[in-house]
């Protein structure tokens, strides 16, 4: 009996030793995997930061210089990279073209699509010593065709609003594709939407878009924004009614640059982490001189 107990005790000690050895090795492996995951996460974050820096290089470094117009932009990506892209370009002495596009989705896939959009949007074409400025309708139609031709996988769609401003007459021509309606704040601080029909880009190559136009006046402000800003702008009740957000409505009388800065503060203060989205806002103010 004593011998049997001794053998069982020895076996138990051996098993315990093996268990401890296995547990120690398991813990080492676990720590090693955690370190590898941490290293991978750091590398991924570094790559995303670099991608974000490259993406920002595609944004305009300077805005058209003109005493009559004050431009301000708030670009707030939800992550290191953004699904929003914009441009503001002087096309000739009397025309400025500008747009805001929003790729459906977030992070790297959406950011890659914005790079395609940046290269695919053509506002002006040169023929020797002559040139042609494309209308907003032509710009949107051409962009939609190029996106459809790519047969993009993963439901890669986008929205866009393109505007063409005559700097001499202050006429604004515009066309939108699934994008939030731009707002015009007149010099009496009344807000109205610029409504035109237009579906998402990259869905149907025969999609129908509509061009509109409006006459701007001294003191007016035009606000173009991506859908991430919609919760802070207001609520569209129906096709004829848009209720401004309480906090945003208080900003309407502010100069364009101050309005943009204060609106950015509102967005940052009221963001819901569970519903984070890219936010871009472009404000054009016609100076009162």
Separation of alpha carbons 44 and 64, rounded Å: 36
**Tens digit of pLDDT for each residue in 236-255?**
766 666 788 889 999 999 99
If asked whether residues 38 and 94 sit together in one domain, one would say: no
If asked whether residues 52 and 117 sit together in one domain, one would say: no
Which of 57, 75, 104 is a domain's end point? 57
Prediction pTM value = 0.83
Do 213 and 172 form a contact (C-beta atoms < 8 A)? yes
Do 106 and 73 form a contact (C-beta atoms < 8 A)? no
| Total count of domains within the chain | 2
If asked whether residues 142 and 129 sit together in one domain, one would say: yes
Which of 32, 57, 82 is a domain's end point? 57
If asked whether residues 42 and 144 sit together in one domain, one would say: no
If asked whether residues 65 and 53 sit together in one domain, one would say: no
If asked whether residues 111 and 161 sit together in one domain, one would say: yes
At 283 the pLDDT is: 97
What's the distance, Cα to Cα, between the start and end of the chain in Å? 108
If asked whether residues 26 and 44 sit together in one domain, one would say: yes
If asked whether residues 108 and 192 sit together in one domain, one would say: yes
If asked whether residues 208 and 249 sit together in one domain, one would say: yes
Do 122 and 134 form a contact (C-beta atoms < 8 A)? yes
If asked whether residues 112 and 213 sit together in one domain, one would say: yes
Listed range (86-90, 124-128, 274-278) with the worst mean pLDDT? 274-278
If asked whether residues 160 and 87 sit together in one domain, one would say: yes
CATH classification at residue 181: 3.60.40.10
Regarding predicted confidence, which is higher, 151 or 24? 151
At 158 the pLDDT is: 96
The two three-digit tokens of residue 219, written as one number: 């003191």
Name the band, by pLDDT with cuts 50, 70 and 90, for residue 273. Answer: low
> Which domain, by its residues, includes 175?
60-286
Q: Is 114 exposed, middle or buried (0-12, 13-18, 19+ CB in 10 A)?
A: buried
């Amino acid at each position: 009996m004593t011998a049997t107990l001794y053998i069982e005790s020895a076996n138990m000690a051996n098993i315990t030793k093996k268990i401890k050895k296995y547990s120690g090795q398991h813990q080492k492996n676990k720590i090693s995997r955690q370190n590898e995951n941490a290293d991978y996460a750091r590398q991924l974050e570094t790559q995303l930061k670099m991608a974000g820096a490259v993406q920002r290089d595609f944004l305009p470094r300077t805005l058209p210089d003109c005493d009559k117009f004050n431009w301000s932009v708030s670009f707030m990506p939800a992550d290191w990279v953004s699904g929003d892209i914009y441009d503001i370009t002087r096309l000739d002495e009397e025309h400025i073209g500008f747009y805001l596009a929003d790729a459906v989705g977030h992070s790297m896939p959406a950011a890659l699509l914005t790079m395609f959009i940046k290269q695919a949007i053509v506002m002006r074409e040169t023929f020797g010593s002559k040139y042609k400025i494309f209308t907003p309708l032509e710009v949107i139609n051409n962009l939609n065709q190029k996106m459809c031709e790519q047969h993009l996988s993963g439901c890669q769609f986008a929205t866009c609003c393109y505007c063409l401003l005559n700097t001499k007459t202050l006429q604004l021509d515009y066309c939108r594709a699934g994008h939030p309606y731009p707002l015009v704040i007149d010099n009496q601080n009344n807000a109205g939407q610029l409504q035109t029909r237009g579906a998402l880009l990259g869905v149907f190559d025969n999609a129908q878009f509509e061009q509109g136009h409006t006459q701007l006046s001294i003191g007016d402000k035009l606000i173009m924004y991506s859908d991430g800003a919609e919760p802070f702008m207001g609520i569209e009740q129906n096709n004829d009614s848009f209720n401004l957000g309480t906090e945003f409505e208080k900003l309407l009388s502010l100069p364009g640059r101050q309005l943009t800065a204060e609106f950015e503060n509102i967005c940052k203060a009221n963001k819901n982490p569970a519903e984070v989205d890219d936010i871009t806002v472009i404000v054009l103010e016609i100076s009162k001189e």
